[in-house]
Amino acid sequence: MVLSHLDDYIAHLSVERGLSRATVEAYANDLAQFARFLMGRDGQGAAVQTADVIDFLAGLREGGLAGSSLGRKLSALRGFFEYLVLENLAAESPASSLAPPRTGRRLPSTLTEGEVERLLGVPDRSTPLGSRDRALLETLYSCGLRVSEACGLDLADVDLENLLVKVHGKGSKERLVPFGTVAEECLSRYLETGRPALVRRLGEQAFFLNSGGRRLSRVGCFKLIKKAALVAGIRHRTSPHVLRHSFASHLLNRGADLRFVQELLGHASVATTVIYTHLSKEKIFSDYRRFHPRG
């Protein structure tokens, strides 16, 4: 039964390919869902056919699952069956001939520079948690970090002398990202007055702490940003990733090179970064009016 090799494949993703824990868990859940579908269909799931994969995805689509999620599930299945073929555990992949569903590419949401200023001005820096919140918001926007990257920062990762943070990104990849003097001041203040009031355990290495003195969680980060956005009068959805998108689009609007932004974001391919060029129309139009003789 090919599905008996699921555990080996999950270990392969984690250990040999070095995928992030969140990605491995997502693939594991997708494959477990497919396994349950097969067991409910024929009671054994021994010989998987292309029709099985098609019926599985069709059922999910009829249930209202978005095309992007269907594409991820197909990707999980294709990866698993390709692994079986490479390991000589299967003769062929029943998913190799299937194309991912078409999905419209959504432009990422961003804040205006004015909205970012209002958001960053919300935390009360006279309190330990306010000092932390301001330092966190400045780090997210100044460095374009993913929420997991920001929450995963340790003390040793923040170099105030050289204005750099060492970021532990997807697939255990590390990159150095610079930050400016405004972020430096906020981070220094947090380390001097905010963090010492929050820390509870000797030797705690997490940079951003919660009220209990432990590492700030992703959920905690989302909540504080949502609360700050409401106070700032920002009515549309605001999240750590919206700050990351804003970081990229504001750099491009001000003339930054696409490859430079790619490196800062930690994108493996510049194709992923290209989407932000669609957000730079404001600069295109302003430059046209500025430089064209009939602008």
Average pLDDT of the residues of the chain: 85
Tokens of 122: 């919300």
Q: What is the mean pLDDT of residues 63-70?
A: 77
Exactly one of 73, 132, 244, 245 is catalytic; which is it?
Answer: 244
The pTM (predicted TM-score) of the whole model is: 0.62
Exactly one of 27, 83, 190, 276 is catalytic; which is it?
Answer: 276
Exactly one of 146, 195, 245, 250 is catalytic; which is it?
Answer: 146
Going along the chain from its start, the domains and CATH numbers come out as 2-86 (1.10.150.130), 113-288 (1.10.443.10)
Exactly one of 168, 215, 241, 283 is catalytic; which is it?
Answer: 241
- Strand 174-178 relative to strand 158-159: parallel, antiparallel, unpaired? unpaired
What is the identity of the amino acid at 290?
R
> 155: burial class by Cβ within 10 Å (0-12, 13-18, 19+)?
exposed
Assess whether pLDDT exceeds 90 at residue 94.
no
Tokens of 42: 């024929």
Assess whether pLDDT exceeds 60 at residue 83.
yes
Exactly one of 73, 125, 245, 267 is catalytic; which is it?
Answer: 267
For residue 124, what pLDDT band results from cuts at 50, 70 and 90? very high
pLDDT value at position 223?
A: 94
Rounded Cα distance between 6 and 162, Å, is 46
Assess whether pLDDT exceeds 80 at residue 102.
no
For residue 107, what pLDDT band results from cuts at 50, 70 and 90? low
Rounded Cα distance between 11 and 114, Å, is 46
Give the C-alpha distances (Å, rounded to integers) separating 126 from 29, 120, 284: 44, 14, 41
Rounded Cα distance between 56 and 38, Å, is 9
Beta pairing partners, 159: 164
Q: What is the mean pLDDT of residues 49-74?
A: 81
Structure-model confidence comparison of residues 179 and 267, the more confident one: 179
pLDDT value at position 286?
A: 56
Q: Positive or negative, the Cα torsion across 15, 16, 22, 24?
A: negative
pLDDT value at position 105?
A: 54
Structure-model confidence comparison of residues 90 and 163, the more confident one: 163
Check if the beta carbon of residue 150 is closer than 8 Å to that of residue 140: yes
Exactly one of 5, 78, 166, 170 is catalytic; which is it?
Answer: 170
Q: What is the mean pLDDT of residues 219-244?
A: 93
Instruction: Confirm whether 244 is a catalytic residue.
Output: yes
Instruction: Confirm whether 146 is a catalytic residue.
Output: yes
Helix (H, G, I), strand (E, B), or coil: what is residue 164? strand
Assess whether pLDDT exceeds 90 at residue 1.
no
Q: What percentage of the chain carries pLDDT values higher than 70? A: 85
Assess whether pLDDT exceeds 50 at residue 51.
yes
pLDDT value at position 295?
A: 46
For residue 106, what pLDDT band results from cuts at 50, 70 and 90? low
Give the C-alpha distances (Å, rounded to integers) separating 78 from 81, 83, 90, 92, 242: 5, 8, 13, 11, 31
Instruction: Confirm whether 241 is a catalytic residue.
Output: yes
Supply φ then ψ for residue 59, to 5 degrees.
-65, -40
Instruction: Confirm whether 73 is a catalytic residue.
Output: no
Tens digit of pLDDT for each residue in 172-223? Answer: 788 999 999 999 999 999 999 999 999 999 999 999 999 999 999 999 999 9
Q: H-type helices in the chain, by residue range?
A: 6-11, 21-42, 50-62, 67-86, 113-120, 128-143, 147-151, 181-189, 195-198, 218-231, 240-253, 258-265, 270-273, 281-291
